[in-house]
Structure 1
Amino acid sequence: MSRRRFLGASLGGAGAGLLGLTGCGAEAGSASVGTDHLSLWYWKGSLSDKLLATARRGVPGVPGLRVKGSQIPDGEIDSKVRTSLAARAYVPDLTVVNSDNLATFFPDENEFLDLRTLGAESVRDQYLDWKWKACFTPTGRMIGFPLDAGPTALYYRRDLFEKAGLPYEPADVAEGVPTWEKFIAAGRTLRAKGPGKPYLVSNIGNVFQQVLLQSPQQFVDAGNRFIGDQEHVRRAWDLSVEILRQKLSARITDGTPDFNAAMSGGRVATMTTAVWASYGLKDTAPKTSGSWRLTTLPDGPCNYGGSYVTLTRYCREPEAAFSFLKWLLSPANQLKSYQEMALFPTTPATYADPAMHKPDPFFGGQQPIDVFGPAAQKAPVVYFSPYEETANTPFFQELTNVELLGKNPDRAWRDAVNTAETTLSRVGVS
């Protein structure tokens, strides 16, 4: 079941005690104090190893500047940043932050530099508009800088669609399943007429996730009010439950041996997910190469994943650090990162480069950029509150209860809403 991972309390919560205990003569500052470089924290796969190696020797165009990256496990980097900020010592000059994690730092926004004061607006037109807007806190401070994106698509088995008598070329599928309701109808045809009676999806959590991400609002609004009981969430819930009711879900958890076998054996006909999932699919089901195609997600694209880079307020040389950011995440270097690490660029100019337009044999010679490029440019601006994970966890858990344990969907909905409201009230969400 897809879900955002839990991120922990803000500095104003769990870290408050640390803030109160430090400062007794302790020297606050960057982890790079006393060195000849700036410090950067990241996790494996989030930044280009080749570009980081260059930066360690010397950032091109910035004489005398060196940046040393320190690799921190993805599941630990946020808590490690919080701990260092709370201690006011050994704080990285720069750090990478996951897409939906950035909002968890909003309550502590003053711990990060406002990149507008360093000239960020001068390069704004190089980046996706929605990604740029997502870098800002509700008070208007820009604490993130666009790294990569996670545009979405409908992955589907062309052979299964064709044998079921459905449209099977990408443009025709996009026209035939423009909405989630039409998607479900296609699932009925696949189940009735497709070879081996394939399921439409592996589980309903993925659909719930994507329908939500198509909405500009999630579970908590900018006024710090719970809105998880409103129509945009209920629609995502009802569509997901309808897929289950019509027995179109394989009811298997992604990434498990059952999932791998289902994808390899043609038991699941589609995936509704982001660009990065294609690499996992190729590893999971290599023998299905040539059978898959990509097209527009029902009801339009959204973004699922991606990251940002921040500068902490202890950054030893802010102007130099920002010059490094502009170099590292320039259109030219985002192209290099895509070629090396498959990090999808947040710089639309990169999408026109011939290197982005190579046919992919796994997708029958289709050029993935033809789907993911427009999807990246059309994704909505989504507001994530600092409490999004706290709010959405009960909904994903209750969907799991419905799908795997047979819990009544209406009761599960009520329980999810009640649990979310109760939990959020404890952290000040009304």
Structure 2
Amino acid sequence: MIKEAISKEEGLKLKHTQKSWLYVPATLLLAGAVTLAGCTSESNNAAGGGEKGASTLNGDSAATAAGIKGTIKVWDWDEAFLKKMVPEFNKRFPNVKVEYTVVNNGDYMQKLQSGIASGSDVPDVVLGEMNYRGQLFDLDILDNLEKAPYNFKRTELLDYLPSILTNSKGELVGVDQSITPAGLAYRRDLAKQYLGTDDPDALAKAIPDWNAFIEKGKKVQQESGGKVTMFASFDDAYRVIREQNSKPYVTGTTINLTDRLQLPLTTVFSMRDAGILGKYEAYTPGWNASFAKGDNIFYPMAPWSAKWNIAANDKDGIGRWGLIPAPGGSYTYGGTSVGVYKDSKNKDAAWAYINFAYMSDEGMAINYKEFGNMAGTKQFFEKHKDWIDAGTEYDKYFAGQNLNKTFVEKIVPTVKADPQTKYNAMVQTAYGSLYPLWMKDTSINVKTALEKLKSEVKNLAPEATIK
């Protein structure tokens, strides 16, 4: 249950009966939301002792909010979010001008580095998508949010988050745009036909570990004549198994790939050799189309996946899907950090924006309802049990299964995540260039693949020691 992921000293008592927490009717949100000006001093003391953390900003008076002034630059790739959130922010902070630029997430780091080099164009609010987050953190351009003027406490975050929001110096340099705990989405029709059940609890019991998953996959492969596989892609399996085996593997300039990836690669190669993985490459048109095609049973799934993967790719799939925890434990799937540029001239204003949009009651009433983003703070779950009781508009794709209840009770408690450095990003880049061949050429074994990966990482990081 979610309470296992929240430290005991916070005294949170989220019960087993809590329900989902993504999308709720606007009327419920407006009724349940506590505005920034309306939070009590008791709430402030519980979360910050009067310092300007997430909870104390909720308690700032209108006069204090009006006193925060300045112009801030925000770079974000979600234009719909900006168009909705910035006007709402300005209702609360009328003297902060937000100049936002829509930047494709694939171009973000290059544009940011160019701005730093020229010294002319760097945003005050900086986003760090997971694929390049470690590279961003190692640029050392983000402020430590546990120091003034922010005084945010990492203990306010869900317990697994600090490891992926701190830089190599141990400084907390971001908060979470939206938590991304992940399990497995599955096609109910195919599970019923080939695995004997489409019930989430029964299916999870039928595949308690990856050995059982592989054996079931062999049965599916045989009975379908090779037309149906368990995962659509080698990469789908790898991203799940790699992240659920999360542990630090970068120390200074030493990268221990053998210790980190031997087990995940061994498991995925066993799946490949058993013939239970599809031939798609993740996030290609063919992979997208496979959701509706019905030639694969399982896909990685975070809370955002219901909208962007399932509904977007299987428009006629109402009632067709289910969600279970992954065998062997939960993992993170994607995610974005949000931090403050350390040379910003308007740090108070930048923090006010981040706090309002991603952590405050008033901002989350919009963020949660409109965009499905869930705050990474313990306070969010403590204060909004009524929100958690509501279902999501995407539950209909899952035959009425309460997605958020599943995430809260069965997936969040076992989430782990790797600390991020520039070397983590390099490892992922090297892997991305290699896995398509690993998927197709069965003569390549784990030992050969791992050695090739080490060689590619060494090319990207010649100064590093690769083990």
Q: In structure 1, what is the equivalent of residue 186 of structure 2?
A: 156
Is the aligned partner of 1:75 residue 2:75? no
Q: In structure 1, what is the equivalent of residue 62 of structure 2?
A: none
Q: In structure 1, what is the equivalent of residue 337 of structure 2?
A: 308
Measure how far apart 1:85 and its partner are.
Answer: 1.7
Question: Cα deviation per residue 1:197-235 (whole Å; 9 max; x = unaligned)?
Answer: 5211111111111111112336x41333121122x4112
Is the aligned partner of 1:357 residue 2:390? yes
Is the aligned partner of 1:248 residue 2:283? no
- Is contact 2:232-2:287 (8 Å) kept? yes
The one-letter amino acid of 1:82's match is Q
Stretches of 4+ aligned residues off by more than 6 angstroms: none
Q: Give the secondary structure class of the aligned counterpart of 2:230.
A: coil
Structure 1 runs not aligned, ≥5 long: 1-34
Question: Cα deviation per residue 1:370-416 (whole Å; 9 max; x = unaligned)?
Answer: 22224235311322221223223333433311222444224641542
Structure 2 counterpart of 1:113, from 140, 143, 149: 143
Against the structure 1 CA distance between its residues 64 and 399, is the aligned structure 2 distance closer, same or farther, given a 3 Å change threshold? closer
Q: Give the secondary structure class of the aligned counterpart of 2:184.
A: strand
The one-letter amino acid of 2:317's match is T
In the alignment, the residues of structure 2 paired with residue 383 and residue 320 of structure 1 have an alpha-carbon distance, to the nearest angstrom, of 28
In the alignment, the residues of structure 1 paired with residue 282 and residue 240 of structure 2 have an alpha-carbon distance, to the nearest angstrom, of 15
- The within-5 A match list for 1:165-176 is 165-176=195-206
- The within-5 A match list for 1:339-350 is 339-348=369-378, 349-350=380-381
Larger deviation, residues 386-395 vs 343-352: 343-352
Against the structure 1 CA distance between its residues 138 and 394, is the aligned structure 2 distance closer, same or farther, given a 3 Å change threshold? closer
Q: In structure 1, what is the equivalent of residue 129 of structure 2?
A: 98
Compute the TM-score of the two structures, normalised by the length of structure 2. Answer: 0.76
Q: Give the secondary structure class of the aligned counterpart of 2:265.
A: helix
In the alignment, the residues of structure 1 paired with residue 116 and residue 429 of structure 2 have an alpha-carbon distance, to the nearest angstrom, of 27
Structure 2 runs not aligned, ≥5 long: 1-68
Structure 1 counterpart of 2:296, from 268, 275, 278: 268
Larger deviation, residues 300-309 vs 68-77: 68-77
- The within-5 A match list for 1:369-380 is 369-374=404-409, 375-380=411-416
The one-letter amino acid of 2:385's match is A
The one-letter amino acid of 1:391's match is V
- Is contact 1:40-1:70 (8 Å) kept? yes
- Is contact 1:118-1:319 (8 Å) kept? no
Q: Give the secondary structure class of the aligned counterpart of 2:146.
A: helix
Q: Give the secondary structure class of the aligned counterpart of 1:155.
A: strand
Q: Give the secondary structure class of the aligned counterpart of 1:269.
A: strand
In the alignment, the residues of structure 2 paired with residue 45 and residue 419 of structure 1 have an alpha-carbon distance, to the nearest angstrom, of 40
Question: Cα deviation per residue 1:228-265 (whole Å; 9 max; x = unaligned)?
Answer: 122x4112112111112111122122344433443323
Measure how far apart 1:63 and its partner are.
Answer: 5.7
- The within-5 A match list for 1:21-420 is 37-44=71-78, 47-55=81-89, 58=90, 60=92, 62=93, 64-109=95-140, 111-118=141-148, 120-122=150-152, 124-193=154-223, 197-217=227-247, 220-230=249-259, 232-279=260-307, 280-332=309-361, 333-348=363-378, 349-350=380-381, 352-354=385-387, 357-358=390-391, 360-374=395-409, 375-410=411-446, 412-420=448-456
Measure how far apart 1:292 and its partner are.
Answer: 0.9
Measure how far apart 1:368 and its partner are.
Answer: 0.8
Question: Cα deviation per residue 1:68-126 (whole Å; 9 max; x = unaligned)?
Answer: 322112122222222222222232221222134222133331x2221111365555454
Against the structure 1 CA distance between its residues 331 and 159, is the aligned structure 2 distance closer, same or farther, given a 3 Å change threshold? farther
Against the structure 1 CA distance between its residues 155 and 296, is the aligned structure 2 distance closer, same or farther, given a 3 Å change threshold? same
In the alignment, the residues of structure 2 paired with residue 225 and residue 424 of structure 1 have an alpha-carbon distance, to the nearest angstrom, of 13
The one-letter amino acid of 2:294's match is G
Against the structure 1 CA distance between its residues 258 and 74, is the aligned structure 2 distance closer, same or farther, given a 3 Å change threshold? closer
Q: In structure 1, what is the equivalent of residue 38 of structure 2?
A: none
Larger deviation, residues 192-201 vs 154-163: 192-201
Measure how far apart 1:287 and its partner are.
Answer: 2.4
- Is contact 1:273-1:304 (8 Å) kept? yes
In the alignment, the residues of structure 2 paired with residue 103 and residue 408 of structure 1 have an alpha-carbon distance, to the nearest angstrom, of 30
Against the structure 1 CA distance between its residues 309 and 380, is the aligned structure 2 distance closer, same or farther, given a 3 Å change threshold? same
Q: Give the secondary structure class of the aligned counterpart of 2:275.
A: coil
- Is contact 1:148-1:306 (8 Å) kept? yes
Against the structure 1 CA distance between its residues 240 and 120, is the aligned structure 2 distance closer, same or farther, given a 3 Å change threshold? same
Question: Cα deviation per residue 1:178-204 (whole Å; 9 max; x = unaligned)?
Answer: 212222122123223469852111111
- Is contact 2:135-2:425 (8 Å) kept? no
- Is contact 1:59-1:67 (8 Å) kept? no
In the alignment, the residues of structure 1 paired with residue 132 and residue 198 of structure 2 have an alpha-carbon distance, to the nearest angstrom, of 37
Against the structure 1 CA distance between its residues 422 and 325, is the aligned structure 2 distance closer, same or farther, given a 3 Å change threshold? closer
The one-letter amino acid of 1:78's match is M
Q: Give the secondary structure class of the aligned counterpart of 2:178.
A: strand
In the alignment, the residues of structure 1 paired with residue 304 and residue 370 of structure 2 have an alpha-carbon distance, to the nearest angstrom, of 14
Larger deviation, residues 298-307 vs 180-189: 180-189
In the alignment, the residues of structure 2 paired with residue 53 and residue 161 of structure 1 have an alpha-carbon distance, to the nearest angstrom, of 46
Against the structure 1 CA distance between its residues 429 and 94, is the aligned structure 2 distance closer, same or farther, given a 3 Å change threshold? farther
- Is contact 2:243-2:417 (8 Å) kept? no
In the alignment, the residues of structure 2 paired with residue 330 and residue 418 of structure 1 have an alpha-carbon distance, to the nearest angstrom, of 40
Measure how far apart 1:418 and its partner are.
Answer: 3.9
Larger deviation, residues 361-370 vs 376-385: 376-385
- Is contact 1:224-1:385 (8 Å) kept? no
Larger deviation, residues 324-333 vs 234-243: 324-333
- Is contact 2:166-2:419 (8 Å) kept? no
Share of identical aligned residues, percent? 17
The one-letter amino acid of 1:84's match is G
Q: How many residues align?
A: 390
In the alignment, the residues of structure 2 paired with residue 103 and residue 402 of structure 1 have an alpha-carbon distance, to the nearest angstrom, of 26
Measure how far apart 1:138 and its partner are.
Answer: 2.2
Compute the TM-score of the two structures, normalised by the length of structure 1. Answer: 0.82
In the alignment, the residues of structure 1 paired with residue 195 and residue 326 of structure 2 have an alpha-carbon distance, to the nearest angstrom, of 20
